């Protein structure tokens, strides 16, 4: 990541935020708008961040993963399903069921990744076709099971979608409590601290996504494992000559990538809303890929790019909140279909490479032949 | 005597090459059907009844055949769109969006042109105009991606997907707004019905199969001719096989990429406009969803060959059409078909698995379908 790209990200985020502040300031104080935008941005950037990390691990080891979307979708479904089964059929407590759901989601991501690995590493199938197979399989599988298990003949749930155990709780960071004594009786001070506190009150998957960004960065660039992963992705032949098992490294990294995508899936149905609908990932797997490319295949860069997309989604959400105070000359901002285009157009714009060319790992997408 | 022998061996060769080309897809379908049957058993269904229902529903009567042809029509166009792009070394995941754009503009010309002009048009002007507009807009929509690929290196896989979402959002906007059917009973996001003069006549009285189906077959033939008998087709294929070699041979690679995407999008746009002018007489939101992925599966199953695409389209159409009957007989949801198709695609794309299962040796060189991010 160079300064050009980081400043582009900064400018876009500032523009998106100021837009919301300008529209919403008649209704709420700017600080409150900014912090709530920030909180939403971090939250909705979660699946994008995790998806991009998934891509980083796969592609750094030389496997193009275009199946992130499908991995997320199936993980979202099976994770949600796992929670429902535990809660309704086996009578576990909601907390336990939710935890099992997250575990199932990660496992699902890994299983789908295993399929990609078998296809692209063992059978040397064209990797983009392999990923597309995963995407189509995920749509078919989740669509079929979603209807069959709940509404099919002999369904254990008897034709209804049963109650879900709920969603992951928000983890409260006690900033407000810390500052209560400092603020004293000043109401504005307390209000501001409360507003800022909202940014830090995130849910577990969102928090782990941020932690994983830095952990991934450390692993990739400061450990032997990371060095080997990158070697396998840049020059597998050379890596092989010095005794690194190319196939094993690629399998392992694709599986890790799958787990990240699985956790991203958990965000949708276990952290965000406790329900599933067909095609709910809505292209976010592909936007993750764009974030990965824009981040030049680095975890921190990818995270920064994911935040831009998060901000453009937060813009859409906040514009709905301030719908009634949008000035008439900006009435197009009322149209969610138009504002909703932002992340997609941004993706295409970024991929043009105007903001600096990126270089994929040299052996990305190339099956290794001994 | 000599020539008879030659022609005999020629026929034999052709038959042999067809059976070789069809062997892997056939085994892939067979394997998918078997695994599909196991899944049906696992969820408590009866696979024999399910498959009987599929066959009855798709080929059991004159009406069933007609409906299969109706389903096959857009599949042929969209499948050809993806297949043509594959031949040019491009992966067009955006058939869905191109189809939607084509359908919207075709419908617009269909219902609004007489209003704008203030008089009715004869069918031989209005209908071709509606079809052509849909085709052209679909092509332009796709050529944007081709342009980005050729001149900036933006990868077509992500860009076509982004264009899908942009198309979906934009058509939602239009169909909920200015283009919405204004009749007082309508609550759906759809256009008004197109004028009589923009509708395709039916072939047989009382059956829904329309001339668009015949057109699809002709277009498949045309694409085969284009790819194999023209300079442009040669350029497209050469760029697809090896862009570097194409460049040294003096082919304008960038221009060819844009043209390939333009043609590919035109085919997908045709799929949309034929559905509007031949079948639905309007465009409704959500109609286009799913066609893009189906088209990819069809192109892969048909090995990107126009004849293969037509056959694969029939198979997919038969499955979609028979699904209703299957659901009626077994209460299995229609979505089962999507999963079956995904399995077929899995085995076709990963023919190495099929070769491994059935112990078939690989022959000839591998066909390069796509390349990594570098393009």
DSSP string, B68-100: HHHHHHHHHHHHHHHHHHHHTT-----HHHHHH
Q: Is residue A176 within 8 Å of A96, Cβ to Cβ?
A: no
CA distance A362 to A254: 17
At CA B267, angle to CA B260 and CA B284, rounded to 5?
135
Q: State the ipTM, two decimals.
A: 0.84
Q: Look at residue A140 and tell me if it is in a domain.
A: yes
Q: Look at residue A51 and tell me if it is in a domain.
A: yes
CA distance A19 to A13: 10
Please tell me the pTM assigned to this model. Answer: 0.89
Q: Look at residue A171 and tell me if it is in a domain.
A: no
Tell whether the model's pLDDT for residue A358 goes beyond 80.
Answer: no
Judge: A148–B163 Cβ closer than 8 Å, yes or no.
no
Q: Look at residue A262 and tell me if it is in a domain.
A: yes
Q: Which of A341-350, B272-281, B288-297 has the highest mean pLDDT?
A: B272-281
Cβ of residue B371 closer than 8 Å to a chain A Cβ? yes
Residue bearing the bigger pLDDT, B32 or A351:
B32
Domain that holds residue A108: 3-151+203-351
**How would you classify residue B118: left for phi > 0, otherwise alpha for psi between -120 and 50, otherwise beta?**
left
Tell whether the model's pLDDT for residue B368 goes beyond 60.
Answer: no
Domain boundaries, chain B: 16-358
Provide the pLDDT for residue B58.
Answer: 92
- pLDDT one-digit tens code per residue, B316-329: 999 999 988 888 88
Judge: A345–B373 Cβ closer than 8 Å, yes or no.
no
Tell whether the model's pLDDT for residue B60 goes beyond 70.
Answer: yes
Residues 183-212 of B with CB under 8 A from A: none
Chain B interface disruption, residue of A58, A132, A135, A276, most B CBs within 10 A: A132
| Mean pLDDT score, B191-217 | 90
Q: What's the pLDDT band for B375 if we cut at 50, 70, 90?
A: very low
- pLDDT one-digit tens code per residue, A254-276: 999 999 999 999 999 999 999 99
CA distance A57 to A229: 8
CA distance A310 to A6: 15
Q: Is residue A161 within 8 Å of A171, Cβ to Cβ?
A: no
| Mean pLDDT score, B256-282 | 95
End-to-end, the C-alpha distance of chain A in Å comes to: 33
| Helical axes A187-200 vs A175-183, angle rounded to 10° | 160
Tell whether the model's pLDDT for residue A197 goes beyond 80.
Answer: yes
Tell whether the model's pLDDT for residue A241 goes beyond 70.
Answer: yes
Q: Look at residue A370 and tell me if it is in a domain.
A: no
Q: Look at residue A209 and tell me if it is in a domain.
A: yes
Q: Look at residue A96 and tell me if it is in a domain.
A: yes
Residues 290-349 of B with CB under 8 A from A: 293, 296-297, 300, 330-333, 335-336, 338-343, 345-346, 349
Query: What class, spelled out in words, does domain B16-358 have in CATH?
Result: mainly alpha
What CA–CA distances, in Å, run from A109 to A45, A51, A161, A255?
19, 11, 23, 8
């Amino acid at each position: 990541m160079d300064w050009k790209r980081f400043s582009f990200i900064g400018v876009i985020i500032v523009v998106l935020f100021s837009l919301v502040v300008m529209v919403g300031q008649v209704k709420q104080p700017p600080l409150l708008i900014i912090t709530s935008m920030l909180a939403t941005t971090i939250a909705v950037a979660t699946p994008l961040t995790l998806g991009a990390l998934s891509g980083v691990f796969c592609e750094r080891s030389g496997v193009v993963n275009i199946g992130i979307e499908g991995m997320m979708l199936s993980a979202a479904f099976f994770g949600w399903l796992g929670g429902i089964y535990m809660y309704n059929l086996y009578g576990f407590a909601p907390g336990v069921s939710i935890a099992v759901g997250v575990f199932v989601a990660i496992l699902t991501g890994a299983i789908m990744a295993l399929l990609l690995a078998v296809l692209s590493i063992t059978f040397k199938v064209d990797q983009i076709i392999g990923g597309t197979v995963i995407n189509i399989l995920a749509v078919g599988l989740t669509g079929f099971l979603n209807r069959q298990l709940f509404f099919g003949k002999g369904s254990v749930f008897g034709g209804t979608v049963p109650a879900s155990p709920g969603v992951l709780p928000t983890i409260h960071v006690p900033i407000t409590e810390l500052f209560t004594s400092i603020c004293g009786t000043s109401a504005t001070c307390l209000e501001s601290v409360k507003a800022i506190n909202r940014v830090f009150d995130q849910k577990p998957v969102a928090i782990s996504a941020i932690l994983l960004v830095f952990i991934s960065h450390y692993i990739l660039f400061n450990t032997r494992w990371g060095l080997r992963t990158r070697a396998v992705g840049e020059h597998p032949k050379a890596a092989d000559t010095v005794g690194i098992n190319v196939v094993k490294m690629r399998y392992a990294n694709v599986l890790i990538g799958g787990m990240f995508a699985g956790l991203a899936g958990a965000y949708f149905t276990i952290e965000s809303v406790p329900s599933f609908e067909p095609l709910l990932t809505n292209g976010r797997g592909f936007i993750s890929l764009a974030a990965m490319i824009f981040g030049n295949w680095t975890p921190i860069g990818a995270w920064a790019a994911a935040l831009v997309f998060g901000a453009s989604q937060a813009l859409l959400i906040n514009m709905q909140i301030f719908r009634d105070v949008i000035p008439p000359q900006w009435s197009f901002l009322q149209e969610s279909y138009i504002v909703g285009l932002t992340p997609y157009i941004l993706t295409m714009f970024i991929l043009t490479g105007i903001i600096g060319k990126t270089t994929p790992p040299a052996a990305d997408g190339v099956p290794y032949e001994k | 005597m000599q020539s008879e022998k030659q022609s005999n061996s020629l026929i034999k060769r052709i038959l042999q090459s067809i059976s070789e080309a069809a062997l892997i897809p056939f085994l892939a379908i067979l394997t998918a059907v078997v695994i599909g049957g196991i899944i049906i058993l696992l969820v408590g269904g009866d696979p024999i009844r399910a498959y009987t229902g599929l066959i009855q529903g798709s080929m059991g009567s004159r009406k069933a055949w007609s409906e299969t042809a109706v389903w096959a029509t857009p599949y042929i166009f969209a499948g050809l769109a993806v297949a043509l792009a594959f031949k040019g070394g491009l992966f067009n995941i955006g058939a869905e969006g191109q189809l939607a754009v084509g359908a919207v503009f075709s419908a617009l010309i269909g219902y609004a042109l007489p209003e704008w002009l203030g008089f009715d048009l004869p069918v031989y002007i209005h209908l071709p105009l509606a079809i052509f507009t849909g085709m052209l807009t679909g092509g332009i929509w796709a050529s944007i991606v081709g342009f980005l690929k050729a001149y900036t290196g933006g990868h077509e896989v992500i860009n076509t997907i982004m264009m899908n979402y942009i198309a979906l959002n934009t058509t939602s906007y239009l169909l909920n707004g200015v283009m919405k059917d204004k009749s007082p009973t309508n609550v759906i996001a759809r256009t008004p019905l197109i004028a009589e003069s923009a509708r395709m006549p039916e072939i047989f009285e009382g059956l829904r199969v329309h001339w668009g189906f015949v057109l699809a077959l002709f277009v498949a033939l045309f694409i085969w001719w284009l790819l194999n008998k023209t300079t442009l087709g040669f350029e497209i294929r050469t760029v697809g096989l090896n862009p570097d070699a194409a460049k040294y041979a003096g082919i304008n690679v960038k221009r060819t990429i844009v043209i390939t995407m333009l043609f590919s999008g035109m085919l997908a746009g045709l799929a949309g406009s034929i559905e509007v002018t031949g079948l639905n007489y309007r465009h409704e939101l959500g109609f286009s969803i799913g066609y893009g992925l189906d088209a990819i599966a069809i192109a892969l199953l048909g090995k990107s060959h126009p004849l293969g695409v037509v056959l694969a389209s029939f198979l997919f159409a038969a499955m979609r059409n028979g699904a209703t009957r299957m659901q009626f007989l077994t209460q299995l949801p229609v979505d089962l078909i999507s999963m079956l198709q995904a399995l077929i695609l899995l085995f076709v794309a990963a023919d190495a698995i099929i070769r491994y299962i059935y112990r078939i040796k690989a022959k000839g060189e591998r066909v390069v379908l796509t390349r990594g991010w570098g393009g």
